[in-house]
Amino acid sequence: MRQLLPNALEDVIEQLGNLPGVGIRTAERYATHLLRADDRNVQKLAASLATLHKKVKYCPVTFAYINDDQTVSPLYSDSDRDKSLIAVVEEPLDIVALERTNQYMGTYHVLGGAISPIDGIGPEQLHIPELVERIKSDQVIEVIIATNASVEGESTALYLQRYLSEQGVVVKMSRLARGLPVGVDLEYADQITLTHALEGRKTI
């Protein structure tokens, strides 16, 4: 079919269409929104994107996102963070979720994903050796395995548990509690969540 839209607009639509979950209609909607928006805002977005990769690095210890002028994540280097406690998460943004609770003063370790044979992700692609290294060098007392409550997250947690004991790493290991989330009616809770909630019940 002949081309119906200006090349520049087609380019933007095609590239926005590569974002996760964005189809052609959504990409068209985003592109025409940007075309109608103030060009200064579009320029700002273009400039931010152009420097994104250069300005964001991974912390070499925790694999959290850091600024390019930082050598290590402040969530690790800060003296008020308890280095003997590590929360192991799948992705860098999981750190943000845990930090928002304002309840955790330990450090983090980002695995960089979860074991998922279907997506071709095996344990060798995750930052597991670096975790073992940290547990030894920082005299870690407890590792909280804070992977997602998904099949992949569970498999990863099980693998980690087995792997660490195989490596002779002696450390207390824990998992985030499973149970009813806030605001959920029993009636609407799924069976597995309710089973977890029963098993993990607390004496009051």
Residues that bind a copy of itself (CB under 8 A): 1, 4-9, 11-12, 15-16, 18-21, 28-35, 37, 39, 41-57, 65-68, 75, 91-93, 95-96, 99-100
Nearest to a copy of itself of 72, 192 (CB atom): 72
Please state the closest distance from residue 42 (CB atom) to a copy of itself, in A: 6
Please state the closest distance from residue 150 (CB atom) to a copy of itself, in A: 16
Residue 57, SS3 per DSSP? strand
Cα(138)–Cα(113) distance, integer angstroms:
23
Residues 6+ apart with CB under 8 A from 111: 63, 88, 89, 90, 126, 127, 128, 131, 147, 156
Residue 140 main-chain phi, psi, to 5 deg = -70, 135
Please state the closest distance from residue 57 (CB atom) to a copy of itself, in A: 8
Cα(40)–Cα(57) distance, integer angstroms:
27
Please state the closest distance from residue 108 (CB atom) to a copy of itself, in A: 11
Two tokens at 115?
A: 């074991």
Nearest to a copy of itself of 58, 163 (CB atom): 58
Please state the closest distance from residue 122 (CB atom) to a copy of itself, in A: 18
State which amino acid sits at residue 191. Answer: Q
Nearest to a copy of itself of 15, 139 (CB atom): 15
Please state the closest distance from residue 133 (CB atom) to a copy of itself, in A: 24
Decide the pairing of beta strands 65-67 and 56-58: antiparallel
As beta bridge partners, residue 107 has 86
State which amino acid sits at residue 193. Answer: T
Radius of gyration of the chain (CA): 22
Nearest to a copy of itself of 91, 152 (CB atom): 91
Nearest to a copy of itself of 68, 133 (CB atom): 68
The full length of the chain comes to: 204
Nearest to a copy of itself of 8, 192 (CB atom): 8
